[in-house]
Structure 1
Amino acid sequence: GICQALVGRRKLGSFVYVPRGPILKSFENGRAQETLKYLRNFAAGEKVDYLRVEPHWEANLDIEELFREEGYRRAQVVTSQAGGVSLLLDLSLSEEDLLAQMRKTTRYLVRSAEGLGMEIHRSADPRKMEEFHRLMGVAKRRQNFVPQARRYLQAQFETLAPRGIAELVWANYQGDVLSAAITFSYGDTVTYVHDASVRSNVPISYFLLWEIIKEAKKDGYRYFDFWGIAPNDDPRHPWYGYSLFKKGFGGYQVDYTGVWDYPLTSKYWAVFGAEKIRRLVRRY
């Protein structure tokens, strides 16, 4: 197995966090148990209050039982994978089939955008991120949400773009940049990680996402990962709007096992309580 382990220290409690990991070649011969025990011992050696893992493993009863048998408990927080639920698109389908599985309204908006003279641009140049930050600022004021820090997004792009992983894609209409997205390409999958746009009378966000999907298919990738959706169709859920937007493009839902914690000291329970209250207030 392999993973990235991040050590964090804050007033409420210190931790080791393993994002989207550990990654295992197989679950045979007790490899998962051995890896989880290794991580537990590593975290104890770092003298932190708890270990948090978020493996990219599909959810099933065997996986849940494995975690519980190893002394882990389900966390009260969602992190990178938006609650452990994502939406995948099979890019081996033809463009006609991809269009056919779209929601009728989405297909209409994609089709209607094609003759409006919009332009798509792709770049791995970190200097181009200025437009993305501008759009994110507009979206933040309009939608009243807290995005990831500009410094974090810039550092992430500057690190991953030269490695051929991160790419900025944006759409112009009549000379103005109205929508942009950051994608990650790794293995056989392109992932739609960040996006921002301004309010417009033209369906430029639909146009941009469809063009990104087509480019991913043209580049030879097998899957397109929309990155995260709400776990249900409740209109009151904070992620309902963008989940509805993503689901309009079709695909199939994948449920991951989510976030699991291993408590190492009694301070963990203060973290657990605070995160539970926050989850109840936010409704996710």
Structure 2
Amino acid sequence: MEFLDFTNAEAVAEYEAFVEEMGGSFMQSVRWCGVKQDWLHEAVIVRDGGGRICGSMLVLVKKFPLPLKAFLYSPRGPVWDYEDAAVLQELLLGVWQLSRKYHAYSFKLDPLIEETDSKKIFALRAAGFSFQPWQPDEKTIQSRNNYILELQNRSEEELLRSFKGKCRYNIGLAKRKGVTCTVCGRERLGDFQRLMEETGKRDGFRVRSQAYFEGMMDALGEKCRLYLCEYEGQPLSGAICVQYGGRTCYVYGASTAAHREVMPNYLMQWEMIRWAVEAGCAVYDFQGVPCWYDPQHPNYGVYRFKTGFNGRLAIYAGEFRMVFAKHYKSAFDRAMKLVGYQKLA
């Protein structure tokens, strides 16, 4: 077991190549550290007998001034072959060392494993993690309920034919009405921010700052794209999309209430799916579908919209926790509520 030297370009490149080859999340990329600049960061590496990386885990460190404790978090980690328990134990040896270094209260991870994957869940529980099955009202750092579209060995034409009829019609309608969808640079983030603020006010959620989105585009580089849909010179919808490890993710999206009749959101999703297909990705991830189980909920429309693309619901197992200092649990949980999950994500 070793820790990544972030100042060594060759070591970082080797780490990135492993995470991407294994289909790891962009949140396990070293690039993600540039987005989470208010966190400290470490990366644990395990090698096989031939010196090749066989396991890795990016760990973010959130330090609290009182009581001089820290929280360790591996977003969508670790990256390793779940069949190899010895590698996981080596990775956790590194986490234990980090817990002592930073006086950590606890460690949390939320890997991209679905709740039906009992074998992988067992591997993490056997390693000492506590785990609670999904509950409808549970708040987690990352979304547990995503909508995904499988892309492997499917052409654009096959995918388009597979969409529900109304979805195909709306994509065509947007084109016929003259809606354009363009990949833009960070100079258009002001337009996106205005759309985000309108969306947040309308749907009742807190909005990231423009500086955050600028940092995201800078840190992720060519892996991150800003899409804007416009009609008669007016931005109608926008999205920040990230492509990494064979998966293209619709991370942030926003829209105005104006001119909904020209269906810009359908065209925008289609253009991002086309980017995923061009890159040979296996999955297009629409990300969260809050309250998919409750047709009466105000946010149910998010789920209804995404089902038009005829993908599938993916419910992830959720968060696994390891506690190092139980007597700090109640104080830490109160701090988490004060900080808010959005700031941790």
TM-score bracket for the superposition, by shorter chain length: 0.7 to 0.9
User: How many angstroms does 1:24 deviate by?
Assistant: 1.1
Q: Which residue of 2 aligns with 1:115?
A: 176
Q: 1:134 to 1:7 in 2, by over 3 A?
A: same
CA displacement at 1:84 relative to structure 2: 5.2
Q: What is aligned with 1:30? A: 86
Quick one: structure 1 residues 254 and 166, their matched pair in 2 at CA, closer, same or farther if it must change by over 3 Å?
same
TM-score, scaled to structure 1: 0.84
Q: Paired residue for 1:79, among 137, 141, 148?
A: 141
1:87 CA drift (Å): 1.6
- Counterpart for residue 49 of structure 1: 105
Shift of 1:230: 3.6
3-state secondary structure, aligned to 1:4: strand
Deviations 1:20-41 (A, max 9, x none): 1111145325222332343234
Seen in structure 2, the aligned counterparts of structure 1 residues 270 and 239 have a Cα distance that, compared at 3 Å, is: farther
For the residue of structure 1 that corresponds to 2:100, the secondary structure is helix
Q: 2:229 matched to which residue of 1?
A: 171
Q: Is residue 63 from structure 1 mapped to residue 120 from structure 2 by the alignment? A: yes
> Structure 1 pair 170/91, CA: closer, same or farther in 2 (3 Å)?
farther
- Looking at structure 2, the residues matched to 178 and 79 of structure 1 have their Cα atoms a distance apart, in angstroms, of 29
The answer as to whether partners of 1:85 and 1:229 remain within 8 angstroms in 2 is: yes
Q: Equivalences for 1:216-255 in 2 at 5 Å?
A: 216-230=276-290, 232-236=292-296, 239-255=299-315
1:15 aligns with 2:15: no
Maintained 8 Å contact 2:224/2:240: yes
2:150 paired residue among 57, 75, 89: 89
Shift of 1:270: 4.2
Per-residue deviation, 1:105: 2.6
Letter in 2 for 1:40: W
Question: How far apart are 1:100 and its partner, in Å?
Answer: 3.0
The aligned amino acid for 2:216 is Q
d(CA) in 2 for partners of 1:4, 1:239: 32
Is residue 160 of structure 1 aligned with residue 220 of structure 2? yes
Aligned-partner Cα distance in 1 for 2:88–2:291: 26
Superposition deviation, residue 203 in structure 1: 0.7
* Count of aligned pairs between the two proteins: 275
TM-score for both structures, normalised by structure 2: 0.71
**Aligned counterpart for 2:167 among listed residues 98, 106, 123:** 106
Cα 1:115–1:128 change in 2 (3 A) is same
Contact 2:228/2:237 (8 A) holds in 1: yes
2:195 counterpart residue number:
135
If asked which structure has higher relative contact order (CA below 8 Å, sep 6+), I would say: 1
Cα distance in 2 for partners of 1:87, 1:107 equals 18
Paired with 2:201 and 2:320, the residues of 1 have a C-alpha distance of 33
1:282 alignment counterpart: none
Match of 2:57 in 1: 3
Report deviation, 1:126. Answer: 2.0
Structure 2: distance between partners of 1:67 and 1:183 = 30
Separation (CA, whole Å) in 1 of partners of 2:294 and 2:238: 27
Query: Are residue 188 (structure 1) and residue 250 (structure 2) matched?
Result: no
User: How has the CA–CA distance of structure 1 residues 151 and 119 changed in structure 2, closer, same or farther, with 3 Å as cutoff?
Assistant: same
Which residue identity lines up with residue 112 of structure 1 in the other structure? L
Residues 134 and 91 of structure 1: is their aligned pair in 2 closer, same or farther, counting only changes over 3 Å?
farther
Task: State the one-letter code of the partner of 1:73.
Answer: S
SS of structure 2 residue aligned to 1:146: coil
1: CA distance, partners of 2:154 / 2:139: 35
Q: Indicate how the Cα distance of structure 1 residues 263 and 248 shifts in structure 2: closer, same or farther if over 3 A, else same.
A: same
Q: Which residue number corresponds to residue 144 of structure 1?
A: 204
RMSD: 2.9
Q: Secondary structure at the match of 1:5?
A: strand
Name the stretch that deviates more: 243-252 or 212-221.
212-221
Asked whether the 8 Å contact 2:230–2:237 carries over to 1, the reply is yes
| TM-aligned CA distance change 1:212 to 1:233, over 3 Å | same
TM-superposed deviation, 1:166: 0.7
